[in-house]
Amino acid sequence: MPRQDGDSGKGKSSGGSGKGKSSRGGGGGGGASSSPTTLPCALKLLAPEALAAAIIGKQGSVIAAIRTNCQARLALTEYGEVYPSTECRVLTAQASTEEQLNNVVGQILEKLEELVSQSNVAETCGVSGELKLKALVPRAAVGGVIGKSGESVKALRESSGAKISIGEPAASGPSADQTVSVTGDAEALEKVLAEVNKQIQALNGESWFSAWVMNPGVQQAGNSAFGANQSYLGSGGWAAQSPGVDLMIRTALNLPPYVMEDSRGFALSCHVPNSLVGGLIGRGGSGTKEIQSMTGTKIGIREIPDDNDNRSLNITGPLANSCAAYMLMMKRYLDAEAQQASW
């Protein structure tokens, strides 16, 4: 197995080889300074499958055009990866300015208008003149939308003519998602979402913001949240028979929010044999590129001075993302090891 080497951010762990280390970025030794893949401004919307398909377009043509026209990054969760208690995929838009995100919203509303005029999607997307759209908003920003004693949201309802409802936060902490549901004509939705966008971007310098951007908070369609007497991977899933996975998930769920939301990032590293590096990286780097894309982390494999037999595998990013990337890389490690043994 790979030899871990790191520290907990508070000094090296004692012990011989095989003891692990994980260093808090912001410290020395190559820690990540912040989430490596986020732009300054971000906005999340919930897209029912029909709207998601319209946003993607034939062979990705529509989403590519929106990216170009608005100078923004757009990412949709995969088919079947939905926000809990909905059938909606999560669309995360990132840009350099608040205005660019407003432009993204405008183009999505155009697709929404086209969709409701051509398809029977009244339940999920509304009808002409009465569109429906939901945003995912960090709890700290929702306070700005509501205002003191609800005055701001009341004024916004009156000035826009939109119906606005706000869901309960998914968890504690400033980055916990809340749904802001808006119903009205396109102009009303655009006005409300511009205010939502403004309140979110007012917080984009907060320590938790990058982690919020990178975490879509989705689950596989048909799977409920981690409820009592249910497997974390669905009925009959491997987690039901694995105390280690159960421990891992319960630990993550019980951590205070500031641990997962620390914007400085974390670093994990271990030593891997030179002979397995090709299998870890994949053809043309496809293996590490795929995992980086899935997890929003940076993965590097470097030479180790005075060690001709091993290399250093380094993963940096938000804590949960880095742990996920490490597990995926360990799968590639074991697969490469098994393949080598069969030669």
Write the CATH number of the domain with boundaries 41-220: 3.30.310.210
Task: Give ranges for CATH 3.30.310.210 in the chain.
Answer: 41-220
Rounded Cα–Cα distance for residues 181 and 207 (Å): 26
Instruction: Specify the pTM.
Output: 0.58
Rounded Cα–Cα distance for residues 92 and 73 (Å): 8
230-241: per-residue pLDDT in tens? Answer: 334 443 444 444
Q: Are strands 298-304 and 219-220 parallel, antiparallel or unpaired?
A: unpaired
Q: What percent of the chain has pLDDT over 90?
A: 56
DSSP letters spanning 77-89: PPTTEE-TTSSEE
Q: Tokens 């407003």 — which residue?
A: 102
CA torsion, ordered 133, 135, 136, 137, to nearest 10 deg: -150
Q: Which amino acid is at 242?
A: S
Q: Cβ distance 181 to 164 under 8 Å?
A: yes
Segments of 167-224 assigned E as strands = 177-184, 219-220
The pLDDT, as a whole number, for residue 224 is: 44
Rounded Cα–Cα distance for residues 162 and 189 (Å): 7
Q: Cβ distance 218 to 83 under 8 Å?
A: yes
The pLDDT, as a whole number, for residue 4 is: 57
Nearest to 171 by CA among 233, 259, 267, 246: 259
Q: Which amino acid is at 278?
A: G
309-341: per-residue pLDDT in tens? Answer: 999 999 998 888 899 999 999 999 999 888 888
Instruction: Per-residue pLDDT tens, the chain, 343 aa: give them.
Output: 665 554 433 333 333 333 333 333 333 333 333 334 579 999 999 999 999 999 999 989 999 999 999 999 999 998 888 998 899 999 999 999 999 999 999 999 999 999 999 989 999 999 999 999 999 999 999 999 999 999 999 999 999 999 999 998 878 789 989 999 999 999 999 999 999 999 999 999 998 999 899 888 887 775 544 443 333 444 344 444 456 777 777 777 777 777 777 767 789 999 999 999 999 999 888 889 989 888 888 999 999 999 999 999 999 988 888 999 999 999 999 998 888 887 6
159's CB contacts (< 8 A; 6+ apart) are 191
Q: Cβ distance 282 to 328 under 8 Å?
A: no
Q: Tokens 């009465």 — which residue?
A: 130
Q: Tokens 């939301």 — which residue?
A: 261
Other residues' Cβ atoms within 10 Å of the Cβ of residue 48: 22
Q: Does domain 3-33+264-341 have CATH number 3.30.1370.10?
A: yes
246-277: per-residue pLDDT in tens? Answer: 777 777 777 777 777 776 778 999 999 999 99
Q: Which amino acid is at 293?
A: S
Task: Give ranges for CATH 3.30.1370.10 in the chain.
Answer: 3-33+264-341
